Amino acid sequence: MISRWCEFGNRDTSLRTQVVIIGAGPAGLLLSRLLSLKGIDNAVLERRSRAHVESRIRAGVLEPGTVELLIAARVADRMRREALTHDGFNLVFDGRYTHVDLKDLAGAPVTVYGQTEITQDLVAACLAANTKLVFEAEAVTPCDFEGATPRVTYAKDGQSHEIACDFIAGCDGFHGVCRASVPPAAITLYERVLPFGWLGMLTETRPVADELIYVRHERGFALCSMRSKTRSRYYVQVPDSDHVEAWPDARFWDELRRRIPGDAAERLITGPSLEKSIAPIRSFVAEPMRFGRLFLAGDAAHIVPPTGAKGLNLAAADAGALAQALASYYGSGEGMALESYSETRLRHVWRAERFSWWFTQMTHRFEGDAFATRLQQAEFDAVSGSRAFRTALAENYIGMFRDKSPS
């Protein structure tokens, strides 16, 4: 019988729960919600403040499977009211449009709802359910996860704490402590870093179009995205050596206008930036995703280039799979799903890695590589001229292959 919360003493506190979750990003928060709803005790330890976690600007295109998970986590009310449904998106190659009709080709639309909103909804739901959610936890350290009695230590307001648990979920992102705690010999890392980044800008302006526009242009990639009918999110490809300070708003708008097709440029409404940042473009996978009683989920285990918006969806799918596996372990003592978590998730992760890599290769400027440019041209011809090619793109975009074995 696993005890619920108990505190001993008031200086060094010692606690016990079933699952300690490290990191309150979408992976950690969604996992916490799903576990709590299944009656599994858990605690979430987050290094940053609540305000920081709730204000980070990230992507916002949700696969149908992610929407289902948010519904299962009972955090979908605001999403239902505010989200946009996109039946398709546009690809533009040197001014020429190709429409990818997701609903027609793959049978489902995507949902546009920002990760920032999802995080706020999840935090509110966790707090309303009295989940132990500790912000500004310092020196969080996963311990003894190779044995049967793992624990996590941390400090808060000058006090040290220890939580004994059955399992640790490493949901602490790419720079977190969990993956770094695994002995190097036990982990294999696969990585490709590209020599450019995405400069993103958020503005309170009406989007240029009703659907997203992915643009391949000789000056570099651009993306017209949105968070709502009045809030736009735009990106331009920049060298990885660039700094945000070199990009005042006026320069950003000029560059975007030069890359997007003429009709969109005419409709473009500019305004001051609410946020502007540069994200590196990286593909990364850590294998396996389980080390004894430590399970990795989300960016802690894998990163995809943002083209195709798979990062958040993968993190959510990890959380869903881990919650399910833990529920069957606690429900019936059945450990099979936990045993196969890593292998199952990695199969899906690599499909998303492949897709994100392909989509990036097709749409970005690779300096000095004329061969790559000609291949991009052929790739676009294939996509625009062949329903089969567009179907493959659409199926990957809506995440049709999640949790499915290859057939």
Positions in the binding site for ligand APR (CB under 6 A): 22-28, 45-48, 53, 58-59, 115, 137, 140, 171-173, 176-177, 298-299, 311-312, 315
Radius of gyration of the chain (CA): 22
Q: Which one of ligand APR, ligand PHB, none interacts with residue 308, CB within 5 to 8 A by kind?
A: ligand PHB
**How near is the Cβ of 307 to ligand APR at its closest, in Å?**
12
**How near is the Cβ of 115 to ligand PHB at its closest, in Å?**
8
Nearer to ligand PHB by C-beta: 132 or 231?
231
Amino acid in position 110 = V
Nearer to ligand PHB by C-beta: 90 or 131?
90
Nearer to ligand PHB by C-beta: 37 or 84?
84
Q: Which residues pair with 346 in a beta bridge?
A: none
**How near is the Cβ of 330 to ligand PHB at its closest, in Å?**
36
Q: Which listed residue (113, 214, 329, 341) is catalytic?
A: 214
| Catalytic (active site) residue 306 | yes
Q: Which listed residue (161, 302, 310, 364) is catalytic?
A: 310
Q: Which residues pair with 142 in a beta bridge?
A: 152
| Catalytic (active site) residue 310 | yes
Q: Which one of ligand PHB, ligand APR, none interacts with residue 233, CB within 5 to 8 A by kind?
A: ligand PHB
3-state secondary structure 76-126: CHHHHHHCEEECEEEEEECCEEEEEEHHHHHCCCEEECCHHHHHHHHHHHH
Q: Which one of ligand PHB, ligand APR, none interacts with residue 132, CB within 5 to 8 A by kind?
A: none
Nearer to ligand APR by C-beta: 50 or 99?
50
Q: Which one of ligand APR, ligand PHB, none interacts with residue 140, CB within 5 to 8 A by kind?
A: ligand APR
| Catalytic (active site) residue 183 | no
User: Tokens 């994100």 sit at which residue?
Assistant: 356
Q: Does residue 32 contact residue 11 with C-beta atoms inside 8 Å?
A: no
Q: Which one of ligand APR, ligand PHB, none interacts with residue 27, CB within 5 to 8 A by kind?
A: ligand APR
Rounded-to-integer distance, Cα 274 and Cα 203, Å: 5
Four-CA torsion 199, 201, 206, 211, nearest 10 degrees: 40
Token reading at 10: 């008031």
**How near is the Cβ of 102 to ligand APR at its closest, in Å?**
20
Rounded-to-integer distance, Cα 96 and Cα 340, Å: 45
**How near is the Cβ of 356 to ligand PHB at its closest, in Å?**
9
Of 309, 225, 259, which Cα lies nearest the Cα of 92? 259
Q: Which one of ligand APR, ligand PHB, none interacts with residue 28, CB within 5 to 8 A by kind?
A: ligand APR
Largest distance between two CA atoms of the chain? 70
**How near is the Cβ of 242 to ligand APR at its closest, in Å?**
20
Can the peptide bond before residue 288 be classed as cis, meaning omega within 30 degrees of 0? Answer: yes
Q: Does residue 211 contact residue 280 with C-beta atoms inside 8 Å?
A: no
Give the CB-nearest residue to ligand PHB: 225
| Catalytic (active site) residue 235 | no
Q: Which residues pair with 19 in a beta bridge?
A: 42, 167
Rounded-to-integer distance, Cα 314 and Cα 62, Å: 10
| Catalytic (active site) residue 276 | no
Summarize as ranges the residues that interact with ligand PHB (CB under 6 A): 59-61, 212, 225, 233, 306-309
CA 42 to chain centre: 22
Q: Which listed residue (26, 64, 86, 364) is catalytic?
A: 86
What residues are labeled active site? 86, 214, 306, 310, 397
